[in-house]
Amino acid sequence: MADSKKIYPRTGDKQTVYLKNVITKPNIEVGDYTMYNDFVNDPGEFEKNNVLYHYPINHDKLIIGKFCSIACGVKFLFNSANHTLASLSTYPFPLFFEEWGLEKQNVAESWDNKGGIIIGNDVWIGFEAVILAGVTIGDGAIIGTQAVVTKDVPPYTIAGGIPAKPIKKRFDEDTISDLLHIKWWNWPKEKISQHIGAIRSGCIKELMEV
């Protein structure tokens, strides 16, 4: 699939990267051809600037599929940003275990762990959107500018707002079902290239006949 070493997919463009090739942390997985654009910061600093409160103690993962488009300033906000709601206080006492004589190994009790974040394939996430821990965004979905996504978004659904809510489906249910069956993003590069016209023009019939 994508060149295993290529960081910048466009000649002369240092604002856009193939995200997979700038990831170093084992708890972040990114598929081929997914790209991130940043005109404010170095896009190579994605792990530092865009994946927040993501600490190994939680064992939560960020999984992003293939062919996703992630706009400048998108944030993935993980579990350590939360404060537990099970306590009578939201103050994170276990985090300051030394001050309060608590056990160090219980530090994660400071927050509620809602799990990782899963982004499907061919997902477009708009400028400065925020995705919260525990959320799954389905294949082909679109997340609007500055949306705050607190709940799962179904495949091929456009969602936006604070908190983000479904606005409409991108296609009719039959077309969505066909696309989820075809999974063109898993095809070899040569096969995608051969049928890229049908993908771009929306000729689902041609893709179904491949």
Residues tagged active-site: 83
Identity (one letter) of the amino acid at 204?
I
Query: Alpha-carbon distance 34 to 121, whole Å?
Result: 9
Q: Which two tokens stand for residue 144?
A: 């609007």
Cβ contacts of residue 173 below 8 Å, gap of 6+?
none
Cβ contacts of residue 177 below 8 Å, gap of 6+?
none
DSSP 140: T
Identity (one letter) of the amino acid at 4?
S
Contact between residue 132 and residue 115 where contact means Cβ atoms under 8 Å apart: no
